[in-house]
Each structure stands twice: as C-alpha cells, then as structure tokens.
Amino acid sequence: MVWNYRIIEKEHDYIGGDDGEVHYSYSVHEVYYNSEDKIVAMSENSIPAQGSTLEEITNDLQMMNEALGQPVLKESEVVYVNWDDGS
C-alpha cells in the first residue's frame, strides 16, 4: 500500500449566506493508492503535522509541503477503486 499527503478542495454552501456563491476550503489529507496508483481511500478529516521528535515533525511537514506540488483533488470528484485492482 502506498500513500501520500494531498491537498483536498471541499465545497461548502453556507446556510444564511446572502452572496449565493459556493465557498471552498483546502486541507491536507492522507490518500492511499493500490498497486495501479488508483485512489482506494482518503482520511475523513484533515491531518495535522505531528511527530514525537523535532526530526519526525520536520519530515512530516516536508511530506505535506510536497503535496503542494501535486494537483489539488476535489473531494466531490474523487473516484475510489478496490484495494486489489483498478476497478
């Protein structure tokens, strides 16, 4: 199983908002892939940077920073496949 951090775009409709526009938020999530690099799972909640040492949190932040170089995934458009194949 392979995983990485990705930036996820979430769409929000604010109740009582008077502008009538759709609003977005962006957060870091863990995304898991099968052997064909297809998405099989994603963390439900955003992931904070963490570690039990300064070196671990530095590595975690570096991995999160790498997510900025990847395309943003729109939560509403993510297609999940089975763990064992590309379907």
86, part of any domain:
no
pTM more than 0.75: yes
| Predicted pLDDT of residue 16 | 58
CB atoms within 10 A of CB 23: 11
**pLDDT tens-digit series, residues 30-86:** 999 999 999 999 999 999 999 999 999 999 999 999 999 999 999 999 999 988 765
For residues 34 and 13, the model is more confident at 34
Residue 13's pLDDT band (boundaries 50, 70, 90)? confident
Region of residue 37 (left: phi > 0; alpha: psi -120 to 50; beta: else): left
13, part of any domain:
yes
pLDDT, average across residues 14-29: 79
Number of domains in the chain: 1
Structural domain boundaries enclosing 15? 2-77
